[in-house]
Amino acid sequence: MTFFQKTTETATNHPMIDLRGIHKYYKTAAGDFHALNSVDLQINAGEFVSIIGKSGSGKSTLLNMITGIDHPTTGEVYVNDMAVHGLNENRMARWRGKNLGIVFQFFQLLPMISVIENIMLPMDFCHSYPMRQREKRALELLEMVELAEHAYKLPTALSGGQQQRVAIARALANDPPIIIADEPTGNLDSKTADSVFELFRNLVAQGKTIIIVTHDSGLAKRTDRTALIADGEIVNEYVAKVMPTLSREQLLQATHVARKQTYPAGAMIFAEGSDADAFDIVTKGMVEIVLPRPGQSDVIAVQLGPGKYFGEMEFFHDRRSRASVRASEAGPVEVLAIGYDQFGELLNQSEATREMLHQYADQREEENIRRRGVAA
């Protein structure tokens, strides 16, 4: 496709979307309603991210913070290096038109004008392409979504899936770097949903950054990253990945009790034989598990990168460390630490999680015995 500009990474390498400390309160008759609670979310250029959560958990509110359709009560929102929380509505509309393509559950095409006119509208609004190029570009976009032969029909002559593809073509009219879609497949049958989803995949492959809210956890699994939101709070992604058998409430509890800790390159996190006190999930850098052998050189048993964890073996075996754990020499390490008391409480609430981690601990123990033997 030649009609998209390649998205270039900013020299400063900021996240494309950066939400910092967002709180959103809605004023209601019953008092303030806390719809978003301390939300931090960073999304890099070119990522395909899904947001999932129960109805009423705050997904649309979150998207509205990014699109500037609504403002946070406190906190900061940066999108493509623009401070969206500080933009007034006048400047917002132009900025949004060039930077964001927005797709809704119910398509929201204008019913009185043709499909192709719907797609040209954002270009007219932003004066983004010379007038005589707009129709040609709109047709090319319709070709991309395989609807060129319907260009001059009214939207209502098209099926739901076709209308959503038109809405996606419209979202791309000004070649925005970012697409935001709120339950774009929520009103489509699963086969149609699949083809719409594939369209998003192709756009990511062409360099777009895409966020979709979805109820469909099957679709969510096919994105690069999933952010789970519960009662207005974002569940830590690493916590959710490592303990998938926890309920949403338990994941939120784990998120609350997890403490971020950093270690410089090469630093000892804990030494063999010392008292371990936390279950740790690696979130940045590489951790090495080292098996010391008396009178011989150490064996590096494994390297653990982001999304891997340690400290579960010690939890199940008298809380004494079974190996040394250190940050790799390659760079600093960041972990999320859940203290054993709180970790124990979580496992008391989820037998499945206890079982899974216990099995894993036993398996690692066996591997370590084997490694020490082989290396000896």
Can you give the binding site for Mg ion, defined by CB under 5 A?
59-60
Minimum gap (Å) between residue 315 Cβ and ligand ADP: 35
Give, as ranges, the residues between 7 and 26 that touch ligand ADP (CB under 6 A).
26
In this structure, what token pair is assigned to residue 9? 């990474």
Q: Tell me, rounded to whole angstroms, the distance of Cα 176 from its chain centroid.
A: 19
Q: Which is nearer to ligand ADP, 57 or 350 (CB)?
A: 57
Give, as ranges, the residues between 271 and 310 that touch ligand ADP (CB under 6 A).
none
Q: Beta-carbon neighbour count of residue 376 at 10 Å?
A: 9
Q: Which is nearer to ligand ADP, 3 or 26 (CB)?
A: 26
Minimum gap (Å) between residue 182 Cβ and Mg ion: 6
Please tell me what DSSP assigns to residue 21. Answer: E
CA dist., res. 256 & res. 235, Å (int): 9
Please tell me what DSSP assigns to residue 50. Answer: E
Give, as ranges, the residues between 33 and 52 that touch ligand ADP (CB under 6 A).
33, 35
From the list Mg ion, ligand ADP, none, partner contacted by residue 326 (C-beta under 5 to 8 A by kind): none
Query: What are the Cα distances from residue 257, in Å, to 13, 125, 291, 334?
Result: 30, 48, 30, 16
CA dist., res. 151 & res. 289, Å (int): 61
State yes or no: residue 29 binds ligand ADP (CB under 6 A): no
CA dist., res. 281 & res. 306, Å (int): 8
CA dist., res. 42 & res. 175, Å (int): 22
Q: Which is nearer to ligand ADP, 217 or 348 (CB)?
A: 217
Interface mask toward ligand ADP for 58-87; x: CB under 6 A: xxxx--------------------------
Minimum gap (Å) between residue 64 Cβ and ligand ADP: 7
Give the pairing of strands 178-182 and 82-83: unpaired
Minimum gap (Å) between residue 63 Cβ and Mg ion: 8
Q: Which is nearer to Mg ion, 214 or 368 (CB)?
A: 214
CA dist., res. 120 & res. 129, Å (int): 10
> Element (H or E) spanning 23, and its range?
strand 17-28
State yes or no: residue 214 binds ligand ADP (CB under 6 A): no
Q: Which is nearer to ligand ADP, 3 or 33 (CB)?
A: 33
Query: What are the Cα distances from residue 162, in Å, to 23, 148, 153, 218?
Result: 37, 11, 12, 22
Choose the binding region for ligand ADP from 40-48, 57-65, 81-89, 204-212 (rule: CB under 6 A): 57-65
The residue ranges that bind ligand ADP (CB under 6 A) are 26, 28, 33, 35, 53, 55-61
